[in-house]
C-alpha cells in the first residue's frame, strides 16, 4: 500500500480535516488555521492535534502554506482528493429544481434552449457557464430542402434531428427547372433522411448513379454543397457563454486569473478544449487547475458533462471558475441542467 494513500487505515480524521479545510477556504477565501477549524467543525479534537494532521497533509501535498505562520490552502491535489473521495453532490433545492424546469420549458427552439441553459447554469453556480451546441456529427438528417432563389441560384437547407438548420447558397452553372428540383428533392431525401451525418456523405455519393441522366450535373452540385455543409467543422465549434459578470467576483489576482479567462472565453476553440472529454463517459468531469490543457488557466477549474437525447452525449456543457470553487454545488447544478436539457432534446 503506497505511503501517501489517503485511505490508509486510521487516517479518517485526516481526511475530515482536509474536507473541513476545503469547505472553509471555499467559503471564506482565506487561509484557514487550526483554531478556526475546530471552532467551526465538530472534529472532537484540539487545535494542536489538528496541527499535526495538517503537517501530515502538507507533507503529502494536499495543502499548502502561503508563508510561515499562515493558515493552510488546499492544493490542486487536495481539491482532487476532495472531489473524488470526500464530497457528495449537493442536492438541488426545490426552488432550484423549479427554476430549472420553468426556465427551460419555455424555450421555443434549439438556440433558445442553449441560451437559456447558459444563463441558468451561470445563475445557479455563480460561475461562467459554457454550453456547446449539439454537434452535427452524431445527429441525423431530418430533411433536405431545395429552394430556388433565382433560376440559377439555389438555396439548400439542411434540417437536422437536433433542430439545427444549415443553409447554403449554390450558384448553378445553368438553369434548373422546377421539375428537376422536385425530382432531386425526393431522391436526395430518400437517400439521406434519417441517416447519421457521418454516414450521409457516403449515402449521397452513390446517388449520382441512380438519378436520370439529365439531372446528374445538378445532383453533383447539390450533393457537393450538402456534403460540405455537413462536414463543415465551423458548426461543430459553436458554443454559448454566459455569466462573465461573475468574473467580477474574483476580487484578488485580477491579471493572473481573469484576463486569460476573458481571452479564453472569446476563443471558442479553447472553450471546446476545456470542455474536453466531458462528452464521453456518463458522469460529471472535473478538471482542476493545472490538470487542464492551458498553463495560463492554472488557477481555474472546469466542471463539465455531456448531454444529448436518448442518453447519448452529443455535446458538452459546464462551468469554469477558480480552483477555489464550490465543487459539490457546481457538479450538482451541471448534472441537473444536463439531464433536463437532454430530456428536452428527447421530446422534440
Partner DNA sequence: GCTTGGCACTCCCGGGTGCGGAGTGCCAGC
Partner DNA sequence: GCTGGCACTCCGCACCCGGGAGTGCCAAGC
Does the footprint of DNA cover residue 113 (CB under 7 A)? no
- Shortest Å distance, C-beta 320 to a copy of itself: 14
- Shortest Å distance, C-beta 258 to a copy of itself: 6
Contact between 66 and 79 (Cβ < 8 Å): no
Q: Which of residues 296-315 bind DNA (CB under 7 A)?
A: none
Cα–Cα distance for residue pair 319/114, rounded to 1 Å: 14
Tell which residue, 264, 269, 345, has the closest CA to residue 306: 345
Nearer to a copy of itself, 119 or 273 (CB): 119
- Please give the grid coordinates belonging to residue 109: 427552439
- Shortest Å distance, C-beta 5 to DNA: 16
Q: Which does 334 bind (CB under 5 to 8 A by kind): DNA, a copy of itself, none?
A: none
Q: Which does 247 bind (CB under 5 to 8 A by kind): a copy of itself, DNA, none?
A: a copy of itself
Q: Report CA 334 to chain centroid distance, whole Å.
A: 9
- Please give the grid coordinates belonging to residue 212: 436520370
Contact track, DNA, 1-40, x by CB under 7 A? ---------x--x-----------------xxxxxx----
Q: Which does 85 bind (CB under 5 to 8 A by kind): a copy of itself, DNA, none?
A: none
Stretch that binds DNA, among 52-60, 122-130, 264-272, 327-335 (CB under 7 A): 52-60
- Binding footprint of a copy of itself on the chain (CB under 8 A): 109, 112, 119, 142-143, 145, 147, 149, 155, 157, 159, 165, 167, 234, 242-245, 247-248, 254-255, 258-259, 262-263, 265-266
- Shortest Å distance, C-beta 241 to a copy of itself: 9
Tell which residue, 151, 144, 164, 149, has the closest CA to residue 222: 144
Q: What are the two backbone dihedrals, phi and then psi, of residue 248, each rounded to the nearest 5 degrees?
A: -65, -20
Q: Enumerate residues 6+ apart whose C-beta is below 8 A from 2.
A: none
Write the CA distances from 85 to 7, 49, 79, 312, integer angstroms: 9, 23, 10, 27
Cα–Cα distance for residue pair 28/18, rounded to 1 Å: 15
214-229: buried (b, 16+ CB within 10 Å) or exposed (e) per residue?
A: ebeebbebbbebbeeb
Of 3, 42, 67, 266, the one binding DNA by CB under 7 A: 67
Nearer to DNA, 52 or 202 (CB): 52
Which parts of this chain interact with DNA (CB under 7 A)? 10, 13, 31-36, 44-49, 51-52, 54-55, 58, 65, 67-72
Amino acid at each position: 500500500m503506497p505511503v501517501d494513500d489517503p485511505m490508509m487505515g486510521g487516517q479518517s480524521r485526516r481526511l475530515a480535516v482536509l474536507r473541513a479545510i476545503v469547505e472553509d477556504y471555499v467559503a471564506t477565501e482565506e487561509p484557514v488555521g487550526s483554531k478556526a477549524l475546530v471552532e467551526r467543525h465538530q472534529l472532537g479534537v484540539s487545535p494542536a492535534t489538528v496541527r499535526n494532521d495538517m503537517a501530515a497533509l502538507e507533507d503529502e501535498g494536499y495543502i499548502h502554506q502561503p508563508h510561515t505562520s499562515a493558515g493552510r490552502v488546499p492544493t490542486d491535489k487536495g481539491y482532487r482528493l476532495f472531489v473524488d473521495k470526500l464530497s457528495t453532490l449537493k442536492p438541488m433545492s426545490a426552488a432550484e429544481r423549479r427554476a430549472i424546469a420553468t426556465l427551460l420549458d419555455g424555450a421555443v427552439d434549439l438556440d433558445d434552449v442553449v441560451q437559456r441553459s447558459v444563463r441558468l447554469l451561470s445563475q445557479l453556480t455563480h460561475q461562467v457557464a459554457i454550453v456547446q451546441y449539439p454537434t452535427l456529427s452524431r445527429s441525423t438528417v431530418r430533411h433536405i430542402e431545395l429552394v430556388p432563389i433565382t433560376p440559377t441560384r439555389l438555396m439548400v437547407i439542411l434540417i437536422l434531428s437536433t433542430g439545427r438548420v444549415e443553409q447554403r447558397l449554390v450558384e448553378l452553372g445553368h438553369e434548373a427547372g422546377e421539375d428537376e428540383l422536385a425530382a432531386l428533392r425526393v431522391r436526395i431525401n430518400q437517400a439521406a433522411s434519417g441517416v447519421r451525418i457521418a454516414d450521409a456523405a457516403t449515402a449521397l455519393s452513390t446517388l449520382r448513379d441512380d438519378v436520370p441522366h439529365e439531372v446528374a450535373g445538378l445532383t453533383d452540385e447539390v450533393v457537393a454543397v450538402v456534403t460540405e455543409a455537413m462536414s463543415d467543422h465551423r458548426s461543430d465549434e459553436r458554443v454559448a457563454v454566459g455569466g462573465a459578470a461573475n468574473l467580477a467576483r474574483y476580487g484578488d489576482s485580477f491579471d493572473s486569473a481573469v484576463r486569460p479567462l476573458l481571452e479564453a472565453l472569446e476563443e471558442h476553440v479553447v472553450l471546446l478544449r476545456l470542455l474536453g472529454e466531458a462528452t464521453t463517459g456518463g458522469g460529471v468531469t472535473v478538471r482542476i487547475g493545472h490538470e487542464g490543457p492551458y498553463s495560463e488557466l492554472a488557477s481555474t477549474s472546469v466542471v463539465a458533462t455531456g448531454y444529448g437525447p436518448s442518453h447519448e452525449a452529443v455535446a458538452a456543457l459546464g462551468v469554469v471558475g477558480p480552483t477555489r470553487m464550490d465543487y459539490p454545488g457546481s457538479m450538482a447544478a451541471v448534472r441537473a441542467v444536463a439531464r433536463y436539457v437532454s430530456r428536452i432534446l428527447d421530446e422534440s
